[in-house]
Amino acid sequence: MKALRRFFVRLAASITRRGDEERLKAEVEEHLAQMTAANIAAGISPDEARRQAVLKFGAVEALKEQCRDDRGLPFLEQFVQDTGYAVRTLRRSSGFSAVAVLTLALAIGVTTAMFTLLDALILRPVPFHAPEELSLIYMGGRTGGRTFVAPAVLRAWRESPAFAGAEAAWGDIALIEADASVVTRGTARVSPGIFDLLGGVRPVRGRLFDASEGRPGTNDRVLLSEDLWRSLYQGDPSIVGRRVTIDGEAVLVVGILPSEFRFPSWNTEIWRAYDFAQPTTNTRDFPIVYVRFAANMPRADALRLAQDAARAADARNAKLEPKVRPLAAEMLDPYYERAVPFLAGGVVLVFLVLCANVSSLLLARLTERRREFSMRSALGATRARVMRQAFVESFVLAALGVVCGIGLAWVLISTARVLLPEALLLRTLNPLNIDLRALGIASASGVVAVLATGLLPAWIGTHIDPIQSLRVADRGGTETRGARAVTRGLLVAEIALACTLLVAGTLLVRSFVNLASANRGLDASGVVVVWIGFERPVFKEPASFQAAVRSVEDHIRTLPDVQQIVWSDGRPPTGGQFSWGDWTSDVPGAQPVHLEVEIYSVGPDFFAFYGIPLLRGRTFQPRDTSHDVLLGERFAEAVFQSVDPIGRTFTFDKQQFNVIGVVREIHHPSLDPHVDRPEIYTAFSGVGGYSLNIRCGNTCPDTALVRQKIRAAHPALTVNDVDALEELYFEQLAQPRAVAALGFTFATIAVLAAAAGLFSVLTYAVGRRKREFGVRSALGASPAQIQMLIMRDGFVVAVTGLAIGSIAAWSLARAIASFQYGVSLNDPSTWLVVFGVISVTTIAASWRPATNAARVNPILLLKDE
């Protein structure tokens, strides 16, 4: 307690610097005066009295010194002093400081931004209360099952002690009409209790749903997201309690949810109260069910109870069992799970390159200031004191770097949110924000940066033999050996890291280019695809179904620039009906072939519509049955090998199919080879959900407009999706594109940083070695020879770095392999790019210093001496 009080008094004294010095001086003076007076009173002569008093008092200056140290906190004061000095020094050479601070800011900013991504996409659990207790649950068998749940089962689970709560949600897309515009937004019907189940949801305005809402009569209550409220209704607070038009229906807004709340999908912006527990036989009204496990019951027991409850509620569950998908894992994207850590590794390399750069800058500067340091050590500063001074300078730089870095990270994240929302946020419920954790990482990387950039230069730069250093400094000699070795080492490391990043970056970019330009086997440009649901009982009669189909066609044809319409069940790239098993041809002696196949049901014009060439046989005719099929090339080759399949048959799942034609294979370019499956086509039969493929001329109609037309065509139709086909393909590439862009950016930063490092180090070296070049040229070396000397210096560093970097890249081959498409680490052109970029960079970086060295005039040098 006493010690603490004393610390604070000293801290306060350090900061306020009251007139304590004066006080002590006066006290000492008074003390001596009284002693002198006492001595005089004892009969000693005044001079002698004073002398004895001083003797008895002891060393005044030493005393003052001790009091000075005891009064404040000398360490802190020195630190403040050093910081002030460092700031003045750095300000004096503002160019150097700006470069160093910006480099550090770049390192810290990119690291922080990357961490924010990593955190949102992978590290952080879903942003709900006790997320490990939350799960998506459904009844399934050994081979899978339907993830939606019957109302009776939902009711049973709500009453079961297995769960602390069971609620439901169903995500969809809705049309919102505001003023004159119509936009599509993610929506969800939710049971009112879902917010309590997730926990910690507070509306920004208004209220959440009441438990009774969602039943007929109160199922028109909606909550809007803050983003939607601000963008569509200009943040008008009076919107709560008003009605807005969603899907052509006037619904009542009861509240606004914060923009951080993202559920059940990342893009849900409207929540509508719905009672999923009310009995219905329409599977369209079956929801996805989310439960919170009771904290005090073992999972196995809870699942057994849930199974019993579900079986008792619905006989169809007799052979099924509850399947659980933890909410946290549900949201993990397998691609990002691999890619984001990979990129984070890249960021660490970039961070190291930039730190090495700053480190070599600092070292060059500190060795330049040897005279100052030797002067200070001659005046009595210890090595530790001088080192501390040097270290404080890098501390100041890093502190500035952290501040600028956080700013940069904020800019990067904001840009990413605007430019890459789907690619980055797909399948995460976490908002992408620079939060306290990110700020912590920024500061931590600042600390690492201080240690990484400051320690080595401070150690080497202050290693001074005062006499020799004074001599060398006077005559502007060469670099010291230690500093030279370290600088070269740092440069080699920089180039090696840059080379590794460049290899990875080039492979990522080439993979993306290959993916984007890969032959899909069909013409997707100018095509809009609509996925329409005909599931309502209304369409059971063929006549009413045909009428609805014709009505849709007629309505769509009224849109401008629509050229052709084709129906299909399934379409690329999403795929058709996925079928998996043994396929056996009727060729004598044929073995069953195990294949995963996409089955598309298509109208006869489908092939012409998409420009898929018919290779052999014919396309569908009206009299064809559902067992007459056309084959893709890959399927034909796999099942029939070299035999002509036309007119032959094959069996699958105890059914026989007749081959009437073969068409060109279509491809689904993807990093996941399982996605690109062989395909076969059956005639469009009019069962299930349908894709309406619309080909348009110069401009395709707006997707919201297409939705409106189909809604107008028949009130019972549901529009599941409307998309431009190119965009669907593009979306599939969003992730590889984001990863390639980031990888390429990292490589660029690293290469530029390495080039800048090489340039500054060579420039500095040339400055130090002027005298040597003067002597060389006086002894007859030509400018070209001197120039070669410097260029060779740069190249030795570059080649060493390249060699190490290439080996590093090879050792990372496995990590890179899963991101490659149509290119491998053996690819010569990738290496050509890497070597080319590094060589050009090296030449560019060493050219100026080399020509400067060649221009040294020996006469002028002699004059300087």
Give the residues lining the site for other proteins (CB under 8 A).
Answer: 2, 5-6, 9-10, 23-24, 26-28, 30-31, 33-35, 37-38, 56-60, 62-63, 66-67, 70-71
Closest approach of other proteins to the CB of residue 381, in Å: 24
* Residue 607 CB contacts under 8 Å (≥ 6 apart), including other chains: 613, 614, 619, 630, 663
Q: Locate tokens 């400094």: which residue? A: 473
Closest approach of other proteins to the CB of residue 58, in Å: 4
Query: In this complex, which beta carbon is closest to other proteins, that of residue 22 or of residue 865?
Result: 22
Q: In which element (H, E) is residue 352 found?
A: helix 334-368
Beta-strand ranges (E) seen in 304-442 are 321-326
Query: In this complex, which beta carbon is closest to other proteins, that of residue 6 or of residue 471?
Result: 6
Alpha-carbon distance 511 to 500, whole Å? 17
| Residue spans of alpha helices (H) in 476-518 | 481-517
137, β-bridge pairs? 289, 324
Closest to 853 measured CA to CA, from 768, 795, 780, 779: 768
Angle at 429 between CA 425 and CA 430, to 5 degrees: 80
Q: Locate tokens 């796999």: which residue? A: 638
Closest approach of other proteins to the CB of residue 854, in Å: 59
* Residue 727 CB contacts under 8 Å (≥ 6 apart), including other chains: none
Closest approach of other proteins to the CB of residue 337, in Å: 58
Query: In this complex, which beta carbon is closest to other proteins, that of residue 57 or of residue 580?
Result: 57
Closest approach of other proteins to the CB of residue 15, in Å: 15
Query: In this complex, which beta carbon is closest to other proteins, that of residue 32 or of residue 297?
Result: 32
Dihedral in degrees, nearest 10, Cα atoms 408, 409, 415, 418:
-150
Report phi then psi at 579, rounded to 5: -125, 145
Closest approach of other proteins to the CB of residue 75, in Å: 16
Alpha-carbon distance 108 to 441, whole Å? 9
Query: In this complex, which beta carbon is closest to other proteins, that of residue 70 or of residue 582?
Result: 70
Query: In this complex, which beta carbon is closest to other proteins, that of residue 7 or of residue 578?
Result: 7
Query: In this complex, which beta carbon is closest to other proteins, that of residue 14 or of residue 851?
Result: 14
Query: In this complex, which beta carbon is closest to other proteins, that of residue 62 or of residue 543?
Result: 62
Residue type, 812: L
Alpha-carbon distance 39 to 296, whole Å? 87
Query: In this complex, which beta carbon is closest to other proteins, that of residue 59 or of residue 76?
Result: 59
Query: In this complex, which beta carbon is closest to other proteins, that of residue 33 or of residue 447?
Result: 33
Q: Locate tokens 């919170």: which residue? A: 292
Alpha-carbon distance 526 to 726, whole Å? 8
Closest approach of other proteins to the CB of residue 775, in Å: 49
Exposure of 112 in the CB half-sphere (CA atoms within 13 A): 34
Asked if 620 contacts 659 with a C-beta cutoff of 8 angstroms, the reply is no
Closest approach of other proteins to the CB of residue 857, in Å: 57
Closest approach of other proteins to the CB of residue 48, in Å: 17
Closest approach of other proteins to the CB of residue 379, in Å: 25
Query: In this complex, which beta carbon is closest to other proteins, that of residue 60 or of residue 252?
Result: 60
Q: How far is CA 260 from CA 172, 256, 269, 437, 441, in A?
A: 19, 12, 11, 16, 21
Query: Strand, coil or helix: what is 477?
Result: coil
Dihedral in degrees, nearest 10, Cα atoms 536, 542, 548, 552:
110
* Residue 603 CB contacts under 8 Å (≥ 6 apart), including other chains: 566, 567, 568, 620, 683, 684
Strands 268-273 and 181-190: parallel
Query: In this complex, which beta carbon is closest to other proteins, that of residue 43 or of residue 58?
Result: 58
Closest to 685 measured CA to CA, from 567, 572, 547: 567
Closest approach of other proteins to the CB of residue 79, in Å: 20
Closest approach of other proteins to the CB of residue 780, in Å: 59
